Structure 1
């Protein structure tokens, strides 16, 4: 396993992270989920991904059980919350702590920053970031980040709004894959800004749950190699069976920094398929947007805005 620095945190984490969503898919029972987590840790994966909303909380529950028997101390544990209000974010964080059966989560991220209004809601004085900062001071979490999969301009906007409030994120998570380079590219627009700020870069959707592979232009190993070749701290990948876990380790075992010529050759193979966002539906549709289907997860609009509208 490769290990990399997580931005300016001083933490060293595995270059591959285990995605939490896959741990409670219909074909993955609890016993297999626990076995996957523990085998991954035994073989060197330290970064654990999860979210408050994954499969109705079952993914966090299973990971919590897997981290018994001394495994918690071996990992860097991350989860995400969807709440935009301080009240809703506090509620969701407390539920995540209970499900994961821990007193402190290493990294909590604002999930699905998909709309240009999300940063303003998060940084309202009664917004979600106030909840996370308070929780950080109380020892319930160590670092704060954000995620999104829709548009790189929204990531940049989140960073700008955070600047306005004098806040620096520890991490940012986004799709980084062989198609991204050709359509609304996070790698081209967001990654350089994060490198400049020394914010930990978390890559996701390297294969988009297999959708990218349906283009028949690249292999799984090529997808993982491309994401690992970017200045990522962690490439989070979904693992729902032992063969896919082996595949992740094979990608690390065979990874060598790519030359510019190798990168361009790989991107040339995906240029046509990736040009319209067809194989990145998380950018071009609401299918991947849990908060669009469940707006109640976000909580109420800021009181200040409601008062302004009613004045």
Structure 2
């Protein structure tokens, strides 16, 4: 085979792979019709009956401001402009993210939002302690969506469902009215998510929602979009996605803009896209993405995937998959119990 024939064959193979990706996107995109009210679009969360903003406010970023007053003002501004989904975690910024969000949600704001937080405990006692601490910091008597955090090791699901595992604490919290819905999160590998889903089925524990990365690079590398998303939709589990910009690392490739990243995530995800917002200009940018959003066409999807393919091959711009940089429980194994 000469070079010209090789290149032609390679092009045909690449085209066939891309076409398959687009078929999947056509099937998944627009699964849940969005309703526009004011600056925001809203979609249902799985079978919960809840309607959430298409954008979620990432909890890690709202604890980074030098002055907590900045964080509180940012949270309130996001809510005033239509964002109803509030993301958080027991471990974000040493608990500061939950404390600041708890203060921001006073004065009637708590009733305007759907509040999610996560716990790191793998044992019943560790999880119970963290759940109660989160409730205290957030100044609320209930979490709308309580999540097992960082399912990033293949044995994490086994620990959750093991003897005296954290699933008992989660179910007890729900029974006591401390949590309305339950689910899990992870960012490392779709195989781990699938193992967790297998165990939830084996233990007759159907999660109400699952949080995972979905972005323009993920489609090419250890893809949650292609391996996990179809299963969530087929089992009618609420879809939440994160890292649409990979903590802005994806933008360093210069292959795509922030608005393009957000539009892609909103297209392939039939639910809410959680994104980091640490300033008013970034909030404005995210809301502009919502204002200008229309589900991407096949041609637009193909153009984005073609532009990102060579950058995505090794996971260089998805460090949450390939390094320990985002693995807080790896840095603090004592949190797991």
Calculate the TM-score normalised by the size of structure 2.
0.87
Kindly indicate whether residue 34 of structure 2 is the aligned counterpart of residue 5 of structure 1: no
Does the residue aligned with 2:194 lie in a helix, a strand or coil?
helix
Superposed displacement of residue 28, structure 1:
4.1
Counterpart-to-counterpart distance in 2, 1:83 and 1:105 = 16
Kindly indicate whether residue 290 of structure 2 is the aligned counterpart of residue 252 of structure 1: yes
Tell me which of 89, 98, 102 is aligned to 1:51: 89
Counterpart-to-counterpart distance in 1, 2:279 and 2:67 = 11
Instruction: Give the corresponding residue for 1:306.
Output: none
Counterpart-to-counterpart distance in 2, 1:60 and 1:38 = 14
Instruction: Give the corresponding residue for 1:305.
Output: none
Superposed displacement of residue 231, structure 1:
3.0
Instruction: Give the corresponding residue for 2:18.
Output: none
Larger-gyration structure (1/2)? 2
Kindly indicate whether residue 53 of structure 2 is the aligned counterpart of residue 40 of structure 1: no
Does the residue aligned with 2:239 lie in a helix, a strand or coil?
strand
Tell me which of 237, 241, 254 is aligned to 1:203: 241
Is the CA contact 1:170–1:200 (under 8 Å) kept in the aligned structure 2?
A: yes
Kindly indicate whether residue 184 of structure 2 is the aligned counterpart of residue 146 of structure 1: yes
Instruction: Give the corresponding residue for 1:24.
Output: 63
Instruction: Give the corresponding residue for 2:146.
Output: 108
Kindly indicate whether residue 308 of structure 2 is the aligned counterpart of residue 265 of structure 1: no
Does the residue aligned with 1:61 lie in a helix, a strand or coil?
helix
Is the CA contact 2:55–2:273 (under 8 Å) kept in the aligned structure 1?
A: yes
Calculate the TM-score normalised by the size of structure 1.
0.95
Instruction: Give the corresponding residue for 1:183.
Output: 221
Runs (4+) off by over 6 Å: none
Instruction: Give the corresponding residue for 1:239.
Output: 277
Does the residue aligned with 1:149 lie in a helix, a strand or coil?
coil
Does the residue aligned with 2:329 lie in a helix, a strand or coil?
helix
Is the CA contact 1:19–1:238 (under 8 Å) kept in the aligned structure 2?
A: yes
Is the CA contact 1:203–1:232 (under 8 Å) kept in the aligned structure 2?
A: no
Kindly indicate whether residue 275 of structure 2 is the aligned counterpart of residue 275 of structure 1: no
Instruction: Give the corresponding residue for 2:11.
Output: none
Counterpart-to-counterpart distance in 2, 1:125 and 1:232 = 35
State the aligned residue count.
298
RMSD: 0.7
